[in-house]
DNA sequence: TTCAATGCTAAACACGTGTTCAGTCGGAGT
DNA sequence: ACTCCGACTGAACACGTGTTTAGCATTGAA
């Protein structure tokens, strides 16, 4: 996306315009609208990228590269347990990328896939740290828990944005920040005190299904 | 949808075909494909419904009506704390409806909206019962919790299905059942034992934000 | 029998889409 | 000066879309 140089290639300008339009309008956005945004003829878009699908693919790559870069640039914060989502929501410059990722999540595209996989991977690391530091309770199935936490958070965000889409997509950062703050309390409460008063449900499940997949199932003492 | 009579009107046949196609292919499904499914000419679809948008609207109504019916028919089970989701996943006959709802969730349509609102409303009732029965811990903000639980569960399901769409949409029931069972363990574990070992995060939040919106904030004794 | 209405269709229309084609412009290389 | 080549465009093409139109049957009423 926005390349470092102040005078980007026409090709880059087209790609950036495409990322933005895809983020705003979804991947159904027309080549013509992208061309107009880039101040260029539709034919030139095809001339440079061959087809709309290839343009889409290059946008995917560009966004993934940008994500990698953003993660590397903020390793410190991320190590502190903040998810990449907070990082993206923090600065409005990430709004297009964030929108693009959410669209890709919504359409089952590869960007969404790998984004989720990465977040799950990260979450496994965070919880591991948390457990070792004694801040987080161990789980009988850490990967399953990490997956559950990521999918529920991301899915919830997606739902929220789909149901109440931002009028101006530039506000996406603000909306995500809003989401993070309003969902923060019920989440923290649930994470802290749980939901049930009894262990009945869990015990019944453990009785019924002897043990979840033996991944990291080191059978931790039940607190 | 599948009307009670064994010999449905052509109009109903078209509507049912539309619900199915919309569920399978999303609301971008062409009038022609729907017409073919119903064994009818595209012109007849317009003749009966006026336009594709009106057809869409009538499908929405039909699905919402079906949902209401299904809920009324299974009040007993629902009172037991099972969500409507379990009910729909239980019988494959609900697969089209389920698919339609998920599509509507994905596209921010009115069906998705009201479906979610209803589920939240129900969840408030369930948790209230649970709290009174001593099975569920009270929350400082019950509506926020109910909303959180519903949105996270539904969003997660949506993500899952979007990322790994069923080959044969008729299997949707099976897939949802699968989802419910695999996500059951981490959910129950989280709900039972929580996530954090300390109350620090929650206490810090409560210190920072004196009190969440005074809805049902009856300031329950912190267990 | 005649008339009107209804269910229905084949064909076309208007439009938006991705893409192609022929050709113009401008600058670098020889 | 000449050529070549890439960036770039306007116009068109092929196609898929929702919708319209004209007309065909069939049915029930007058």
Strand partners, B196: A136
Q: What integer pLDDT is reported at residue B4 of this predicted model?
A: 44
Q: How far is the CA of B53 from the C1' of D19 (A)?
A: 12
Question: B223 to chain A: which residues are within 8 Å by CB?
Answer: 193
pTM, 2 dp: 0.87
- Beta carbons within 10 angstroms of residue B172's beta carbon: 25
Inter-chain residue contact B152 with A156, CB threshold 8 Å: yes
Instruction: Count the residues in chain B.
Output: 223
Between chains, do A205 and B199 touch, taking CB under 8 Å as contact?
A: no
Per-residue pLDDT, B221:
41
Return the closest-CA partner of residue A36 out of A7, A13, A62, A12.
Answer: A13
Residue B33 placed within a domain: yes
Q: A74-78, A162-166, B200-204 — which is least confidently predicted?
A: A74-78
Q: What is the CA radius of gyration of chain B?
A: 21
* Residue B215 maps to a domain: no
Instruction: Give the closest residue to A22 by CA, choosing from A67, A80, A69, A62.
Output: A62
B31 touches strand D (CB under 7 A): yes
**B chain contacts of residue A113, beta-carbon cutoff 8 Å:** 163
- Residue B84 is predicted with a pLDDT of 86
Please compute the mean of the pLDDT values over residues B50-54 and round it to a whole number.
Answer: 97
Q: What is the CATH number of the domain that holds A95?
A: 1.10.357.10
CB nearest A202 (choices: B108, B165, B188): B188
Overall average pLDDT of the B199-222 stretch: 67
Per-position DSSP letters for B29-76, written without gaps between them: --HHHHHHHTTS-HHHHHHHHSSHHHHHHHHHHHHHHHHHHHHHHTHH
Sign of CA dihedral B27, B33, B37, B39: positive
Q: A160: which 2 tokens?
A: 């929220």
Token pair for residue A17?
A: 């315009």
- Helices A10-25, A52-73: axis angle to 10 degrees equals 90
End-to-end CA distance of chain B: 48
pLDDT at B56: 98
- B78 within a domain of the structure (yes/no): yes
pLDDT at B219 over 60: no
Closest-approach nucleotide to residue A44, Cα vs C1': D8
Report residue A219: phi and psi, to 5°.
50, 65
B201 contact residues in A (CB cutoff 8 A):
188, 191-192
Name the burial class of residue A34, with classes exposed (0-12), middle (13-18) and buried (19+) by CB atoms within 10 angstroms of its CB.
buried
How far are the Cα atoms of A30, A44, A45, A46, A130 from residue A51, in angstroms, in the given order?
12, 11, 8, 5, 47
Q: What is the pLDDT of residues A183-216, one digit of tens each?
A: 999 999 999 999 999 999 899 999 887 665 544 4
Higher pLDDT, A195 or B219: A195
Determine contact, residues A117/A105, Cβ cutoff 8 Å: no
Cβ separation of B183 and A148 shorter than 8 Å?
A: yes
Alpha carbons B218 and B211: distance in angstroms, whole number: 10
Which is higher by pLDDT, A6 or A41? A41
The number of C-alpha atoms within 13 Å of B92 and in the hemisphere containing its C-beta is 7
Indicate the range of A9-23, A76-90, B183-197 predicted with least confidence.
A76-90
The answer to whether residue B219 is domain-embedded is: no
Domain hosting residue A41, numbered range: 10-207
* Chain B contact for A217 (CB, 8 A cutoff): no
pLDDT of residue A211: 61
Residue B88: is its pLDDT beyond 70?
Answer: yes
Nearest CB to B112: which of A154, A163, A196?
A: A163
The answer to whether residue B213 is domain-embedded is no
B134 near A CB under 8 A: yes
Lowest mean per-residue pLDDT among A44-53, A203-212, B34-43: A203-212
Please enumerate in sequence order all residues whose Cβ is within 8 A of that of A94, keeping only pairs 6 or more positions apart, or say none: A70, A87, A88, A173
Torsion of CA B124, B125, B126, B129, to 10 degrees: 120
Q: Is residue B214 part of a domain?
A: no
3-state secondary structure of A136: strand
- Is B199 within 8 Å of chain A by CB? yes
User: Over the stretch A120-159, which tens digit does the pLDDT of each residue have?
Assistant: 999 999 999 999 999 999 999 999 999 999 999 999 999 9
- Are A137 and B112 a contacting pair at CB < 8 A? no
Cβ within 8 Å, pair B137-A163: no
Distance CA B216, CA A41 (A): 58
Q: Does A158 touch chain B (CB under 8 A)?
A: yes
| CA nearest to B176, candidates B117, B105, B113, B76 | B105
| Percent of residues, chain A, with pLDDT higher than 70 | 90
Residue A126 has, within 13 A of its CA and on its CB side, a CA count of: 23
Q: Tell which strand C nucleotides have any atom below 7 Å from a protein Cβ.
A: 7-12, 16-22
| Residue B69: inside a domain | yes
Number of domains in chain B: 1
Of A162, A186, A192, the CB nearest to B106: A162
- Tell me whether residue A218 is in a domain: no
How confident is the model over B109-129, as pLDDT tens digits?
889 999 999 999 999 999 999
Task: Give pLDDT, residue B100.
Answer: 95
Cα of first residue to Cα of last residue in chain A, in angstroms, is: 48
pLDDT tens profile B165-179: 887 777 888 888 989
Name the band, by pLDDT with cuts 50, 70 and 90, for residue A1.
very low
Taking all residues of chain A, what is their mean pLDDT, rounded to a whole number? 88
Chain A hits for B221, Cβ within 8 Å: none
Q: Is the CB of A26 under 7 A from strand C?
A: no
> CB of B45 within 8 A of CB of B55?
yes
The alpha-helical segments, DSSP class H, found in chain B are 10-25, 31-37, 42-49, 52-73, 75-79, 84-90, 95-106, 110-132, 142-163, 172-182, 184-193, 200-208
Q: How far apart are CA A70 and CA A25, in angstroms?
A: 24
Predicted confidence at residue B2, as pLDDT, reads 44
**Nearest Cα to A33, choosing from A18, A43, A55, A23?**
A18
**Nearest in space to A130 (alpha carbons), one of B184, B189, B149, B194:** B194
- Dig out the tokens for B118 from the structure: 């209803």
Percent of chain B beyond pLDDT 90?
A: 63
Paired tokens of B150: 């519903």
Confidence of residue B63 (pLDDT cuts 50, 70, 90): very high
For position A219, what pLDDT does the model report? 42
Q: Write the DSSP string, B134-151.
A: TSB---SSHHHHHHHHHH
Residue B217: what pLDDT? 41
What per-residue confidence (pLDDT) applies to B212?
A: 53
């Amino acid at each position: 996306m926005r390349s470092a140089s102040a005078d980007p290639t026409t090709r880059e300008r087209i790609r950036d315009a495409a990322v933005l339009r895809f983020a705003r309008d979804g991947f159904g956005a027309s080549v013509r609208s992208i061309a107009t945004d880039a101040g260029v003829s539709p034919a030139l878009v095809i001339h440079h990228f061959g087809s709309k699908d290839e343009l889409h693919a290059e946008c995917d790559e560009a966004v993934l590269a940008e994500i990698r870069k953003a993660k590397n640039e903020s390793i410190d914060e991320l190590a502190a347990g903040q998810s990449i989502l907070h990082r993206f929501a923090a600065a409005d410059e990430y709004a297009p990328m964030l929108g693009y990722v959410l669209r890709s999540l919504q359409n089952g595209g590869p960007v969404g896939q790998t984004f989720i996989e990465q977040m799950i991977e990260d979450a496994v690391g965070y919880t591991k740290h948390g457990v070792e530091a004694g801040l987080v309770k161990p789980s009988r199935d850490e990967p399953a828990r990490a997956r559950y936490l990521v999918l529920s958070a991301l899915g919830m965000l997606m739902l929220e944005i789909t149901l109440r889409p931002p009028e101006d997509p530039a506000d996406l950062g603000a909306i995500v920040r809003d989401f993070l703050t309003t969902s923060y309390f019920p989440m923290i409460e649930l994470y802290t005190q749980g939901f049930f008063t009894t262990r009945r449900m869990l015990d019944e499940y453990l009785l019924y299904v002897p043990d979840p997949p033996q991944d990291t199932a080191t059978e931790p003492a039940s607190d």
